[in-house]
């Protein structure tokens, strides 16, 4: 029997695991994870990984598990979240469940296959048997909870040598019927040898309801492959969002991640990658923007497990109002990972006296022939630049917005998908008034 | 009526008094040169007129176009036609020069109740302005002043001036860092922008600039006060005799005009 932390979830869990159409191996995976969650419980601030983020706002709510299809979202309501792009391969999930009528996956190019997880269990068991292999939950309560309740999500498989011409977009949208609900989207992205693809995950909302999204995405990047993986967290302003990405990289692969976090009352994004093959590289970039009472937390982890790998990390944060930002960037360099080349920066711009940020680079290096640097800054709007702009007739508010945009521009320009970059530039310019 | 009338202006920075009673009146159509030793307060005067909040005005008044200039925030001063070409133009990484110029132009238009211009219209408008200061259009795509050479920064200041068409332009050592050709280009730019209803204050160390931009009056600022005023021949005399000549013994002149 699971521990006490699991109690509020027991009823929903029993219902989920009594479904006879789900293969037994999936049910047993769920059970093991639920057991583990019960033992772990929600993390407290005594847990080093959660030192600056209290999840009690999440734990203090009761949630209804959104198992059945729900909601009523039209294509026009999705328009603000699709970057004005046409022709992308899109899978839409409404309140956690796949919505084929909103999705565009009829004309996938050769070498690209996608499924919704709920039907993939029986349709392609040999593909989804990778689920749970990449994202472990021994010490990850939210991943354990996700694994216990995993029901739907995107499964993306790119065959070897395939260069996908357009982004694959997984859109998780909530509407008002998600109020008081919880969703545990589970995605799997498998990129074959020497393939090249771009996958975008968007978490968006047409409502300001309170709900919990607890997502996990497992990523495998094959030998010599390149994956651009963007995550856009634009949840409802009152929502809770925990999202974990765990990638594993083969030799000579390149994993490029960008994480935007601008929504939710409380959010935590984990981006973890393991450089598990020689000559591979990881680029982890991100931008977080918060105001009001928002709390926005990022934890990244790069494990250099093999020699001759590089990692580049640039996160920027803009915090206004009474918001609180957290950045914790971990880099582990294993004893055998000689010639590791790592660079991490985290820059924060505080727009108000009451906003604050905790930034904690964390390098643990056990090899001797490595080059690893890190740097973190916390600053305010440059008064000299502000005066320069005003002296040209530019109103104070616009001048501040321009300088905020300018601060973020350095990381936004790393985004290679034009539609996404332009949308984020516009968003940054308009985010703070 | 005079365009700007500065009376007994006192200002401090970091609690140190820099301007100790400046009197200066400039009429429309005039060019005034302000000269003086390093640290005498020339840039401070320029910055105070533009409204830099780092400087505190502790006394005196400035009337500009009938308004109490000191009561206006810097952006409104600019919208009312005050323009300062900075001695040290500020770099703004991440904001393109084109965006910046158009934003400034539109803000000033908006303040006058005029329609904003779109990027295409603005590009046409810029062509002639770029020609005026002999700048390549590629400079517009770069971040404001970032990585510009000293001379390019100064030309960029004049470009902004050409775009904003101020009524009172204050050029703070715009000639420094310019080669002879650039100096002529900048001076030409200033001269072409001259109209009977606007005025220019040129802060400079070198008489050579005044060969190109011919002043109606020359003032010598020493230790926070105007120590001497005269016509354009005063600049030549200074070149000849140095500032010592002003500070030692010569009678302290009142403001010009
Ligand atoms: N932020 C500041 N803090 C302290 N002192 C300052 C500050 N800004 C200016 N000053 C001082 O004020 C005095 C006047 O400076 P200002 O820049 O106005 O001189 P200037 O006449 O323009 O000189 P230059 O010919 O060298 O440009 C100088 O002594 C300078 O050191
Ligand atoms: Mg000066």
Atom in ligand 1 nearest the alpha carbon of residue B36: 21
Task: Indicate yes or no: CB of B104 within 8 angstroms of CB of A392.
Answer: yes
pLDDT of amino acid B255: 42
**Contact call for B73 and A390, based on CB within 8 A:** yes
| Closest ligand 1 atom to Cα of B45 | 18
Do B104 and A406 count as a contact with CB atoms less than 8 A apart? no
Give CA–CA dist A176/A172, Å, rounded.
Answer: 14
Chain A residue nearest residue B170, CA to CA: A391
Nearest atom in ligand 1 to the alpha carbon of residue B37 is 25
For residues A190 and B185, which has the higher predicted lDDT (pLDDT)?
Answer: A190
Q: What is the pLDDT of residue B250?
A: 46
Rounded average pLDDT over A104-127: 97
Beta strands in A128-179 (DSSP E): 154-158, 168-174
| B53, pLDDT greater than 60 | yes
Residue B171 to residue B85: CA distance in whole angstroms: 5
Which ligand minimizes its atom distance to the CA of B224? 1
Cα–Cα distance for residue pair B179/A425, rounded to 1 Å: 38
First to last CA, chain A: 51
Q: How far is the CA of B229 from the centre of ligand 1 (A)?
A: 21
For chain A, the domains span 4-277, 383-433
* Predicted local distance difference test score (pLDDT) of residue B248: 67
Report whether B220 contacts B243 (CB < 8 A).
yes
DSSP A319-333: E-TT-EEEEEEEEEE
Q: Looking at residues A24-41, what average pLDDT do you find?
A: 96
> Among candidates A368, A362, A307, which has minimal Cα distance to A340?
A307
Residues near A15 by Cβ (< 8 Å), separated by ≥ 6?
A65, A67
Q: Going by DSSP bridges, is the β-strand pair B31-35/B199-203 parallel, antiparallel, or unpaired? A: parallel
Q: Distance between CA atoms of A212 and A235, rounded to whole angstroms?
A: 10
Q: Do residue B95 and residue A407 have CB atoms under 8 angstroms apart?
A: no
**Which tokens hold the place of A224?**
């010599």
* pLDDT for position A433: 72
Q: How far apart are CA B89 and CA A74, in angstroms?
A: 51
Q: Is A23 left (phi over 0), alpha (psi -120 to 50) or beta?
A: beta
Q: Which of B12, B43, B50, B55 to mutate to test the pocket of ligand 1 (most atoms within 8 A of CB)?
A: B43
Percent of chain A with pLDDT over 90: 97
pLDDT grade for B257, boundaries at 50, 70 and 90: very low
Pull the structure tokens for residue A40: 């772990």
Burial class from Cβ neighbours inside 10 Å (0-12, 13-18, 19+) for residue A206 reads buried
Residue B14 tokens read as 């970091």
Q: How many CB pairs under 8 A join A and B?
A: 80
pLDDT per residue as tens digits for the range A372-415 = 999 999 999 999 999 999 999 999 999 999 999 999 999 999 99
**Which residues of chain A does B83 touch, with a Cβ-Cβ cutoff of 8 Å?**
391
Q: Which residue of chain A is at minimal alpha-carbon distance from B80?
A: A393
Q: Verify whether the Cβ–Cβ distance A394 to B107 is below 8 Å.
A: yes
pLDDT of residue B249: 52
Across A297-318, average pLDDT:
98
User: What are the tokens at B196?
Assistant: 């009977």
Contacts A390 to B, Cβ<8 Å: 51, 73-75, 78
Question: Considering only CA atoms, which of B38, B36, B142, B39 is closest in space to residue B93?
Answer: B142
3-state helix, strand, coil in chain A (%, to 5): 25, 40, 35
Q: Which atom of ligand 1 is nearest to the CA of B54?
A: 1
Domains and CATH numbers, chain B: 4-90+166-256 (3.40.50.300)
Residue A273 forms beta bridges with which residues? A247, A302
- CB within 6 Å of ligand 1 — which residues? B 13-14, 16, 18, 36, 38-44, 87
pLDDT at site B194: 83
What pLDDT, in 10s, does the model give residues A364-379?
999 999 999 999 999 9
Residue A174 has pLDDT above 80, yes or no: yes
Q: Report the separation in Å between the CA atom of B235 and the middle of ligand 1, taken as the mean of its atom positions.
A: 22
Give yes or no for residue B201 having a pLDDT over 80.
yes
Looking at residue B243, what is its pLDDT? Answer: 84
Residue B251 pLDDT = 47
Contact B107 A392 (CB under 8 A): yes
CA torsion A25→A29→A30→A36, rounded to 10°?
160
Q: Which listed ligand is nearest to B171 at the C-alpha?
A: 2
The complex's ipTM?
Answer: 0.94
From ligand 1's centre to the CA of B155, what distance in Å? 23
Mutation target among B54, B92, B156 for the A interface, most CBs of A within 10 A? B92
- Cβ–Cβ < 8 Å for A212, A61: yes
Residues of chain B that touch chain A, judged by Cβ-Cβ distance less than 8 Å: 50-54, 73-75, 77-79, 83-84, 86, 89-90, 92-95, 99-100, 103-104, 107-108, 111, 143, 160, 164
Is B252's pLDDT higher than 80? no
Assigned token pair, A121: 């269990």
The per-residue pLDDT for range B76-116, each reduced to its tens digit, is 999 999 999 999 999 999 999 999 999 999 999 999 999 99
DSSP state of A50: G
User: Which residue has a Cα nearest atom 17 of ligand 1?
Assistant: B43
Q: Which ligand is nearest to the CA of B35?
A: 1
Backbone φ, ψ for residue A367 (5° rounding): -110, 155
Alpha-carbon span A232 to A82, nearest angstrom? 11
Give the position of tokens 């992308």.
A88
Residue B191 phi, psi dihedral angles, 5° rounding: -65, -40
- Residue B18 alpha carbon to ligand 1 centre in Å: 8
Neighbours of A254 (CB within 10 A): 18
> Span B1-6, mean pLDDT?
92
Q: Counting ligands in written order, which one lies closest to the CA of residue B42?
A: 1
pLDDT given at position B34: 97
pLDDT digits (tens, 9 = 90+) for A61-108: 999 999 999 999 999 999 999 999 999 999 999 999 999 999 999 999
Q: What does the DSSP assignment read for A317-373?
A: EEE-TT-EEEEEEEEEE-TT-TT-EEEEEEEEEE-SSS-EEEEEEEEEE--SS-EEE
Of all residues in chain B, the one with the smallest CA distance to A398 is B103
Pick left, alpha or beta for residue A141 (phi over 0 → left; psi -120 to 50 → alpha; otherwise beta).
alpha
User: Confidence class of residue B211 from pLDDT cuts 50, 70 and 90?
Assistant: confident
- Contact status, residue A204 vs residue A234, Cβ threshold 8 Å: yes
């Amino acid at each position: 029997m699971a521990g006490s932390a699991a109690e509020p979830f027991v009823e929903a869990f029993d219902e989920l695991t009594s479904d006879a159409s789900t293969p037994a191996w999936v049910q047993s995976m769920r059970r093991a994870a639920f057991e583990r969650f019960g033992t772990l419980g929600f993390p407290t601030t005594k847990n080093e990984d959660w030192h600056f983020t209290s999840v009690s706002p999440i734990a203090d709510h009761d949630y209804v598990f959104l198992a059945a299809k729900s909601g009523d979202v039209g294509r026009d309501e999705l328009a603000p979240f699709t970057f004005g792009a046409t022709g992308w391969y899109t899978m839409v999930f409404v309140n956690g469940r796949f919505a084929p009528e909103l999705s565009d996956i009829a004309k996938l190019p050769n070498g690209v296959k996608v499924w919704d997880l709920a039907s993939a269990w029986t349709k392609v068991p040999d593909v989804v048997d990778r689920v749970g292999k990449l994202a472990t939950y021994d010490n990850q309560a939210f991943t354990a909870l996700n694994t216990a309740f995993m029901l739907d999500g995107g499964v993306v498989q790119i065959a070897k040598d395939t260069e996908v011409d357009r982004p694959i977009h997984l859109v998780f949208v909530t509407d008002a019927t998600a109020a008081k609900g919880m969703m545990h989207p589970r995605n799997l992205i498998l990129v074959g040898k020497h393939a090249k693809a771009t996958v975008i995950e968007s978490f968006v909302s047409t409502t300001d309801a309170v709900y919990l999204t607890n997502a996990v995405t497992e990523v495998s990047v094959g030998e010599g492959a390149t994956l651009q993986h963007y995550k856009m967290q634009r949840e409802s302003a009152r929502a809770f969002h925990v999202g974990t990405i765990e990638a594993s990289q083969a030799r000579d692969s390149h994993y490029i991640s960008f994480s935007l976090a601008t929504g939710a009352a409380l959010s935590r994004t984990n981006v973890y990658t393991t450089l598990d093959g020689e000559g591979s590289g990881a680029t982890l970039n991100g931008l977080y923007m918060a105001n009001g009472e928002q709390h926005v937390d990022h934890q990244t982890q790069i494990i250099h497990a093999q020699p001759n790998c590089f990692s580049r990390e640039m996160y920027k944060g803009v915090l206004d109002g009474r918001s609180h930002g957290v950045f914790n960037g971990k880099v582990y360099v294993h004893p055998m990972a000689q010639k590791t080349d790592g660079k991490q920066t985290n820059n924060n711009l505080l727009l108000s006296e009451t906003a604050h940020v905790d930034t904690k680079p964390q390098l643990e290096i056990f090899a001797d022939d490595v080059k690893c640097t890190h740097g973190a800054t916390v600053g305010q709007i440059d008064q000299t630049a502000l005066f320069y702009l005003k002296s040209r007739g530019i109103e104070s508010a616009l001048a501040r917005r321009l300088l905020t945009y300018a601060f973020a521009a350095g990381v936004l320009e790393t985004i290679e998908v034009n539609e996404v970059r332009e949308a984020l530039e516009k968003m940054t310019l308009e985010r703070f008034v | 009526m005079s365009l700007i009338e500065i009376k007994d202006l006192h200002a401090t920075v970091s609690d140190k008094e820099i301007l100790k009673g400046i009197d200066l009146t400039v009429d429309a159509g005039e060019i005034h040169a302000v000269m003086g030793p390093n640290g005498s307060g020339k840039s401070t005067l320029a910055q105070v007129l533009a409204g830099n909040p780092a400087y505190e005005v502790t006394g005196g008044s400035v009337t500009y176009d009938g308004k109490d200039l000191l009561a206006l925030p810097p952006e409104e001063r600019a919208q009312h036609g005050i323009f300062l070409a900075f001695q040290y133009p500020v770099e703004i990484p991440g904001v393109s020069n084109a965006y910046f110029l158009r934003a400034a132009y539109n803000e000033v238009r908006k303040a006058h109740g005029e329609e904003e211009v779109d990027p295409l219209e603005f590009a046409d408008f810029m062509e002639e302005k770029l020609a005026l200061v002999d700048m390549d259009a590629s400079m517009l795509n770069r971040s404001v002043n970032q990585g510009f050479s000293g001379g390019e920064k100064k030309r960029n200041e004049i470009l902004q001036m050409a775009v904003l068409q101020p009524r009172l332009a204050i050029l703070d050592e715009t000639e420094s860092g310019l080669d002879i050709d650039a100096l002529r280009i900048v001076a030409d730019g200033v001269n072409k922008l001259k109209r009977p209803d606007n005025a220019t204050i040129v802060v400079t160390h070198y008489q050579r600039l005044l060969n190109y931009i011919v002043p109606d009056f020359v003032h010598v600022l020493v230790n926070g006060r105007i120590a001497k005023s005269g016509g354009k021949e005063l600049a030549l005399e200074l070149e000849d005799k140095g500032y010592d000549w002003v500070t030692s013994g010569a009678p302290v002149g009142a403001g010009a005009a």
